[in-house]
């Protein structure tokens, strides 16, 4: 669980940085990417980052600790 939690907070910003870099290159160079190989590389990197972020968030949410309802004296803050 801890690894997925940390992984999300590492890969998530990496995806955001990748998107900004890709947008900057795309706006300044209309012909980017020039050939089919470069297109596939950009799509592959983007897809890998996106799926990694989504899957690590799903794994983190599955193993997240939630508060359980208190019963008895603990519910009424009685010692």
Six-digit token string for 6: 């940390």
Six-digit token string for 12: 């998530």
**In this structure, what are the phi and psi dihedrals at residue 64, rounded to the nearest 5 degrees?**
-70, 140
Please give the pLDDT value at position 18.
Answer: 97
Please give the pLDDT value at position 27.
Answer: 95
Question: What pTM does this model have?
Answer: 0.71
- pLDDT tier, 77 (very low <50, low <70, confident <90, very high otherwise): low
DSSP character for 68? P
Please give the pLDDT value at position 6.
Answer: 76
Residue with the larger pLDDT of the pair 18 and 5: 18
21-50 burial, b if ≥16 CB within 10 A, otherwise e?
eeeeeeeeeeeebeeeeeeeebeeeeeebe
């Amino acid at each position: 669980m801890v690894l997925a939690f940390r992984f999300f907070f590492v890969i998530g910003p990496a995806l955001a940085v990748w998107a900004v870099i890709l947008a900057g290159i795309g706006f300044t160079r209309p012909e980017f990417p020039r050939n089919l190989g470069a297109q596939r590389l950009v799509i592959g990197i983007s897809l890998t980052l996106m799926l990694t972020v989504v899957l690590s968030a799903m794994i983190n949410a599955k193993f997240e600790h939630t508060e359980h309802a208190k019963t008895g004296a603990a519910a009424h803050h009685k010692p």
